């Protein structure tokens, strides 16, 4: 195991002192240390991984120094465009040091959405022309080699990080400022959604809590699409269903997911049929991967959603607010609901006991029955 503080200080010694990225559960300890020890002008948690690559390129243009971009391997798809059409040697030839969390590493147990990505992580980086190193306990020679390679070639390099690589670092979370938890909010919301409607819930703990709320009330799961991967695309999935079904479709998004591909939400708002209903649970954090903050509590979500094309935006911060506003939201076309909650979940929060394919097939059967 690598001591996180020592690793961070060695990066600084090699003049890598600027960091951009999207948090990952495998990198949560090193991300926590970066967050708590790096000046704010040298560390930005970005909306998506491509955003981070572009920032790293801009940093290099201004300073001639390499920045680190950290990400989960599921975010490799988001770096493809800026990597091969901006940083690549055939374009601007700009070095970037990637630190990639290896979810779904072959031979390890992981969630279904990480299996394929884990299998193709190394080959993906190879196809993209990124020199790749797997981080080991004796990390100094690896960092030295990566830095030397980037200096000599001006090409990007990547260090791939396995589970349990870094020593534990506790991220100091902000104090609670709202009155309800996400699970409390979800339970209150789901009581207002009838058994003829569909829920499309975002990645991470939100879908896990939706599943367990159904279990709590002895309900079935056939009306829910639990989005276990493809972060940032929840609204687009929900819109696709709503456009081709008469059922009301309630999209339950998270602030990190919403921000990751905000343009997709604008497309959803403008093209939303009457049966598309958008809800975003805002706790200002990437909670499912360690609690790193998003910018969501620093911007005006109401104005953003209105600017994207929603005709009416309701904001609630209490259970009473949900009871008061949800019936109005449900009836209003092209409306959105923002629910502000604290970070945190139950220690015994489980995971869905159905597979993604079983979830898909059950929902499709439900939607087919509804067309008859």
For residue 110, the model assigns a pLDDT of 86
Nearest residue to 97 (alpha-carbon basis) of 145, 138, 137: 145
* Sign of the dihedral defined by the CA atoms of residues 75, 41, 134, 131, in that order: positive
Question: Is residue 344 within 8 Å of 183, Cβ to Cβ?
Answer: no
Q: Is 147 helix (H, G, I), strand (E, B) or coil?
A: helix
pLDDT at 370: 60
4-161 has which fold? Answer: Rossmann fold (3.40.50)
The CATH topology of domain 182-371 is Rossmann fold (3.40.50)
Cα–Cα distance, 24 to 46 (Å, whole number): 12
For residue 82, count CB atoms less than 10 angstroms from its CB and return exposed for 0-12, middle for 13-18, buried for 19 or more. Answer: buried
CB-based burial, 244-281: b 16+ in 10 Å, e otherwise: ebebbbbbbbbbbbbbbbeebbbebbeebeebbbbbbb
- pLDDT tens per residue across all 372 residues of the chain: 999 999 999 999 999 999 999 999 999 999 999 999 999 999 999 999 999 999 999 999 999 999 999 999 999 999 999 999 999 999 999 999 999 999 999 999 888 888 999 999 999 999 999 999 999 999 999 999 999 999 999 999 999 999 999 999 998 888 999 999 999 999 999 999 999 999 999 998 999 999 999 999 999 999 999 998 899 999 999 999 999 999 999 999 999 999 999 999 999 999 999 999 999 999 999 988 888 999 999 999 999 999 999 999 999 999 999 999 999 999 999 999 999 999 988 989 999 999 999 999 999 999 998 664
DSSP 204-220: THHHHHHHHHHHHTT--
The per-residue pLDDT for 113 is 87
pLDDT at residue number 371? 62
pLDDT score at 229: 86
φ and ψ at residue 87, rounded to 5 degrees: -80, -20
Domain with CATH 3.40.50.970 in the chain: 4-161, 182-371
- Tokens 């903050």, residue located: 293
Task: Indicate the Cα dihedral angle 321, 184, 207, 362, nearest 10°.
Answer: -90
């Amino acid at each position: 195991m690598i001591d996180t503080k020592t690793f961070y200080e060695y990066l600084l010694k090699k003049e890598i002192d600027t960091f951009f990225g999207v948090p990952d559960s495998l990198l949560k300890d090193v991300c926590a240390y970066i967050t708590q020890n790096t000046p704010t002008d040298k560390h930005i948690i970005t909306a998506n991984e491509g955003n981070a690559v572009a920032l790293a390129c801009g940093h290099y243009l201004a300073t001639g120094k390499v920045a680190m971009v950290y990400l989960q391997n599921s975010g490799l798809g988001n770096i493809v465009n800026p990597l091969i059409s901006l940083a690549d040697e055939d374009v601007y030839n700009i070095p970037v040091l990637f630190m990639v969390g290896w979810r779904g590493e072959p031979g390890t147990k992981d969630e279904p959405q990480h299996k394929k990505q884990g299998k193709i992580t190394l080959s993906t980086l190879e196809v993209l022309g990124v020199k790749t190193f797997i981080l080991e306990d004796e990390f100094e020679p690896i960092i030295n080699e990566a830095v030397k390679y980037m200096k000599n070639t001006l090409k990007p390099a990547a260090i791939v990080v396995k589970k349990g690589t870094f020593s534990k670092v506790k991220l100091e979370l902000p104090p609670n400022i709202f009155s309800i938890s996400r699970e409390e909010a979800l339970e209150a919301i789901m009581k207002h959604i009838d058994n003829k409607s569909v829920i499309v819930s975002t990645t991470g703990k939100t879908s896990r809590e939706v599943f367990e709320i159904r279990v709590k009330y002895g309900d079935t799961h056939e009306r829910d699409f639990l989005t276990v991967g493809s972060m940032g695309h929840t609204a687009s999935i929900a819109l696709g269903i709503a456009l081709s079904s008469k059922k009301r479709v309630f999209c339950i998004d998270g602030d990190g997911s919403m921000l990751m591909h905000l343009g997709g939400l604008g497309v959803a708002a403008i093209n939303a049929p009457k049966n598309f209903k958008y809800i975003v649970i805002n706790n200002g954090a990437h909670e499912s991967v360690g609690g790193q903050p998003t910018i969501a509590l620093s911007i005006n979500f109401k104005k953003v959603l209105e600017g994207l094309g929603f005709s009416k935006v309701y904001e609630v911060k209490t259970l009473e607010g949900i009871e008061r506003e949800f019936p109005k939201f449900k009836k209003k076309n092209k409306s959105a609901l923002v629910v502000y909650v604290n970070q945190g979940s139950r220690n015994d929060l489980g995971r869905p006991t159905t597979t993604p394919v079983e979830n898909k097939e059950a929902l499709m059967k439900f939607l087919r029955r509804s067309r008859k």
